[in-house]
Amino acid sequence: MAGSSHGHTPAAWTGVTIAFIGFCVSGAYMVMAEPLGFWAGMVITVLGGVVGMIMKAMGLGQPKDAHAVYHQASAKSSEVVTPEPAAAKG
């Protein structure tokens, strides 16, 4: 996947960052045995996904046609070409 721009968008970075913060909050409150804090962290985690989708809808995500172009280029580069065996000199 080298050279692809998969996930390198403001929508992806923002959504994942918010979800990660929610995951950390939820984990901390789970260790402290505080159910209310745990569920608050889970709400923040889901909010990260919602924010990411909203930002993508606003045009800050990766365009849909970018995946097709990448997969076409990837399929062409993964074709294995085996050379013909050299004719034996005799």
56: tokens are 């993508």
Instruction: Report the distance separating Cα 60 and Cα 16, nearest Å.
Output: 14
33-47, 53-67, 69-83: the lowest-pLDDT one: 69-83
pLDDT (tens digit, 9 = 90+) per residue, 5-52?
566 889 899 999 999 999 999 999 999 999 999 999 999 999 999 999
The confidence score (pLDDT) of residue 38 equals 96
Query: Are the beta carbons of 14 and 54 closer than 8 angstroms?
Result: no
Neighbours of 41 (CB within 10 A): 21
The confidence score (pLDDT) of residue 53 equals 92
- Domain limits, the chain: 10-59
Instruction: Report the distance separating Cα 7 and Cα 52, nearest Å.
Output: 11
Instruction: Report the distance separating Cα 11 and Cα 51, nearest Å.
Output: 8
88 or 24: which carries more pLDDT confidence?
24
